[in-house]
Structure 1
């Protein structure tokens, strides 16, 4: 899944502001597994917030790093090839034709 945030001027797309890519999981019946996606999204948020909280506590000097959330979040993330990323950006900006479902 690609999430693309596009800046609009006079209702026309002018540039891509942010793009994120996620991996969606499906169950045995081919339905989206929202629980797994939600778990990955919460883990992503935790992996971003945890270092900020840790730096403000006395425990930040501890040698042990708990990276569980980071690994869960990473499992829901992918990096497209440059060609695929360019195609997604061009489609988001209306510069490329694509099939609509």
Structure 2
């Protein structure tokens, strides 16, 4: 996983750290992201002889951080649920283009939780994922525990 800040600085986000941020946001604030919406990229990299050879899958999300730098897991879950609902509706054949306002709200929520990288950014992401370029690893500076804002 990778995070991309407002200045297009790229950070590697270990999956275990992201899991802890979701489960205990107050215990894992990222002060540099305080009050921001940060782009996240989740990638599945194909390996051959333990070497990365291709990006097999990529998904782009937006993470919301409160004023203390704590991840808002509720916003992330709402976006993920809306994206899943839209995908399942399309697969099941229940997707109706003349959707009601409620269905339009699902589209709006899903769209707010995702983004599409430019061709240049896509190449940069692929290069980092395949080990052709380096990026910083996100680290949390430990400080006092911050309760999540509600």
TM-score scaled by length of structure 1: 0.83
* Runs of 5+ unmatched residues, structure 1: none
Quote the offset at 1:68 in angstroms.
2.1
Q: What does residue range 56-75 of structure 1 map to in structure 2 within 5 Å?
A: 64-65=98-99, 66-75=103-112
What secondary structure does 1:24 align onto? strand
Per-residue CA deviations over 1:35-85 (Å, capped at 9, x if unaligned) read 100010011000111232526xxxx6xx84122212111101111222211
What secondary structure does 1:6 align onto? strand
Is residue 2:61 matched to residue 1:22?
A: yes
In structure 2, the residue matched to 1:80 is 117
Equivalent residues, number: 95
Q: Larger helix proportion, structure 1 or 2? A: 1
Larger gyration radius, structure 1 or structure 2: 1
Match of 1:8 among 47, 59, 64: 47
In structure 1, the residue matched to 2:27 is none
* Runs of 5+ unmatched residues, structure 2: 1-39, 139-150
What secondary structure does 2:137 align onto? coil
In structure 2, the residue matched to 1:34 is 73
